Amino acid sequence: MTCLYRRKVHHLPKETKDYEKYFQPPSLTDAKKRGKEDIQVHYDFDIPEEMRAFGHDKYYLIQTYGCQMNEHDTETIMGLLEQMGYKPTEDRRLADVILLNTCAVRENAEDKVFGELGHLKHLKAEKPSLVLGVCGCMSQEEAVVNRILKKHPFVDLIFGTHNIHRLPFLLKEAYFSKEIVIEVWSKEGDIVENLPKKREGIKAWVNIMYGCDKFCTYCIVPYTRGKERSRKPQDVLAEVRDLARQGYQEIMLLGQNVNAYGKDFEDSDYRFGDLMNDISKIDIPRVRFTTSHPRDFDDHLIEVLAKRGNLVEQIHLPVQSGSNEILKRMSRKYTREHYLELVAKIKEAIPDVSLTTDIIVGFPGETEEQFEETLALVKEVKYDSAYTFIYSPREGTPAADMTDDVPMEVKKNRLYRLNDVLGQFSKESNDKMKGQLLDVLVEGESKNNADVLAGRTRTNKLVHLTGPKDLIGKIVPVQITDAQTWYIKGEWVSAAVAK
C-alpha cells in the first residue's frame, strides 16, 4: 500500500531511558488533521507464504476491551493469527502470544489495561518467550505509549488501529527482535479489504465505515480511529450476501457513525439509506446497525427502515444530554428540539420502535437544572434502555481543557437517578410485552442457568425461555409470560406463528 505517513517500525532497546531519541510517539495533533488524500482501497491482502506456518504449534490469547468495533477487530486479529497457524487458548500459561485489544473512551477502561499489564509482568518473567502486545485505541495515544515504555518495558509489541493488517510482519519482528516493536500510524486514510475474520455464533458484525469526523468535544475516538471512510457498497453487500449463504441469522452493521456512510464518496450520492435498502433485499433474517448520529439521520433512512422486513424496529440514537447548553459545549451539532423532532418522526413511521441511547452525566459545568433537562428528555422519549456514563476527561480533547467542576459525588448521584428512571421505563416497556407472541432468536444457554435458554426479540430485548437446546441458532415463536426490569420471560410455542 502507498506510504502516506510515518510507517517505520520502531525497535527500541528495552529498558531504555532516553527513548525519545529513537522514537516519535503517535500524535493526537497529527491524528486530528483531516487531509484531502484519496481513500485507497486495497484488495490485495495476503499473508506471505513464509509466514503461514509461523504460528504452528503455538497458541494465542486476546483480551478485548470496549466497543463492538473492537470486538470485531479482534475477530480480524484472530483470523490473521489462525492463518499463520496459531491456535486459540484460554490458558495464559499456554499462550505464546497475548494481545490486549484496548479501549480509550474512558479512563476506567484504560486503568483496567494498566492493571492487567501489572499481572502479565509476572507471566512474562516466567516465560520470556511469550510475546506480549498492546493494540487498539490506547496504542494510538501518545501518553499511553510513553507510559508503557517507561513503566511496562516488558511489553514486546505495540500496534495501532490502522496497523492491524501488518500484524504478521510485526509479530515476526517481535519474535526475532530483542527490542520493543512499535508501529502506530497517527493517520491513515486507507481501507484494507479481504482481511481474514474468525467469526463465531449466529450473529455477525460487518464494518461499513471506519473513523469519525464529528469531534464531539469529550471524545477521543476521532483521534484513535482516524477520519471517516466508507467501504464501497459492493464490498459491504458481497460480505453480507456471503454471511447469508453461510447461515448467519443476524447482521450488525458497524461504524462510529453509520449514518454518515457514503458522505466521503466523491463521485456518488449513495448513502446509508440506500445501503440499508439494498441490504433489505438480502435473505438474512435480521439486520441492525450501531451507532447512529442524530444529525445525519435523514428522512430517506427513516422511510427505508419503516419498510421493516429484515430491518428490525430498534434504533440506537445517542443523545448524550438533554440540555442545549451542554449539547453545544459537547459540539453535538443538534439541539434538544431537533432531537425530539427526529424521535417524533421515527415514532410516527415506526410506532413500535425500540429506542436506546447513550448519555453522559457530569460534563464540565453541568448544573442540576441542565441534568434535570436530560431526565425530562428521557421521560419524554421513554427509551427502552441506555448506556449511561460519568464524564471522563480524555487528554487531548477540547473538553479536557474545560473546568471539570462537578464533584464526583454529584456525578455519581446523577448517574444513579438517571439509571433509576431508565429502569422504570425499561420495566414499563417490558410489561407491555406480556401475553405477546414474539419471534425470538435463541442465542444459547442463559449465563446463570444452563436449563434456561437466552435469546433476543427483533427489538433486541433479552428473553429467558424454556425449550429444547436444539432451538439454539433458530428464530422461534415465544409466548411472553413475565417481565423483569432488564429481561422478559417466555415459553417456546411449537408450531405457532409469531410476529
Among 164, 219, 275, 438, binds ligand SF4 (CB under 6 A): 219
Among 22, 23, 169, 215, binds ligand SF4 (CB under 6 A): 215
**Span near ligand SF4 by CB under 6 A; candidates 61-69, 138-146, 207-215, 238-246:** 207-215
Applying CB under 6 A, the site for ligand SF4 has a residue count of 10
Q: Is 240 in the site for ligand SF4 (CB under 6 A)?
A: no
Q: Is 37 in the site for ligand 5AD (CB under 6 A)?
A: no
Task: Write out the three cell numbers for 215.
Answer: 469531534
Give the CA-trace dihedral at 198, 282, 237, 74, to 10 degrees.
Answer: -20
> Under rule CB under 6 A, which residues in 306-335 are in contact with ligand 5AD?
318, 320
The reply, when asked if residue 3 is annotated as ligand binding, is no
Q: Is 225 in the site for ligand 5AD (CB under 6 A)?
A: no
| H or E stretch covering 99 | strand 97-102
**Span near ligand 5AD by CB under 6 A; candidates 12-20, 69-77, 167-175, 386-394:** 386-394
Using the minimum distance from each CB to ligand SF4, give the nearer residue, 223 or 425.
223
Of ligand 5AD, ligand SF4, none, which one does residue 244 interact with (CB within 5 to 8 Å by kind)?
none
- Could you give the CA distance from residue 272 to residue 293 in angstroms, rounded to a whole number? 12
Using the minimum distance from each CB to ligand 5AD, give the nearer residue, 47 or 105.
105
Of ligand 5AD, ligand SF4, none, which one does residue 471 interact with (CB within 5 to 8 Å by kind)?
none
Q: Is 172 in the site for ligand SF4 (CB under 6 A)?
A: no
- Could you give the CA distance from residue 445 to residue 467 in angstroms, rounded to a whole number? 10
- Written as one letter, the residue type at 13 is P
Q: Is 222 in the site for ligand SF4 (CB under 6 A)?
A: yes
Residue 440: phi and psi, rounded to 5, are: -125, 130
Task: Write out the three cell numbers for 431.
Answer: 410489561
Reference 254, options 190, 309, 209, 223; nearest CA is 209
- Could you give the CA distance from residue 376 to residue 10 in angstroms, rounded to a whole number? 52
- Tell me which residue has cell 437517578: 417
- Could you give the CA distance from residue 354 to residue 367 in angstroms, rounded to a whole number? 30
**Span near ligand SF4 by CB under 6 A; candidates 70-78, 215-223, 462-470, 491-499:** 215-223
> Under rule CB under 6 A, which residues in 183-222 are in contact with ligand 5AD?
218-219
Q: Is 293 in the site for ligand SF4 (CB under 6 A)?
A: yes
DSSP notation for 252-316: EEE-TTGGGTTTT-SS----HHHHHHHHTTSS-SEEEEE---GGG--HHHHHHHTT-TTB-SEEE
Which residues form the interface with ligand 5AD (CB under 6 A)? 105-106, 218-219, 318, 320, 358, 360, 389, 391-392, 394
Binding annotation: 67, 103, 137, 212, 216, 219
